A = this chain, B = another copy of it.
Amino acid sequence: MNQFKLDSRLDNDCFILSESAGFMLLLMNNSIIPWFILVPKTNKTELFQLEKDVQVQIWEHINQLSQFVMTEFKADKLNIAHIGNIVSQMHIHIVGRFKSDPYWPGVVWGASEKEHYSAIEVNNIKNKLNSVLVI
């Protein structure tokens, strides 16, 4: 995947927090909830189609992000999903949910209410994340 290009919709909606040879980690530009998106650099659209070692890496990154969201944001619940009906480029949502958030108990996909992050807020999340997780 030398010429991996992030889907333009993900690029518009998210900040890129980090990138490695195999992954990009995004933050949805919605400060209401901590909403991370893991993008494996692949043309495949389904997880079961991936090589075993890539699947293991994804699972480990999901675990790390899960712990980060629960520890750092004190979320009540995690929502983890691979959907891809609209943006087919593989991307996995790791979302911290609160019983007090405006989408609860519904899911966040398809919801229109959003608040944008400030640059400082994004940088804070980036710094905290980089100290505990290497994608």
Contacts and interface: CB of A to CB of B under 8 A. Distances in A.
Interface of A: 45-48, 55, 59, 62-63, 66-67, 70, 77-86, 88, 97, 104-107, 109-110
Nearest to A81: B81
A66 B85 contact: no
A67 B48 contact: yes
A107 B85 contact: yes
Contacts of A81: 79-83
B59 A55 contact: yes
Contacts of A48: 62-63, 66-67, 70, 78
B79 A85 contact: yes
A77 B45 contact: yes
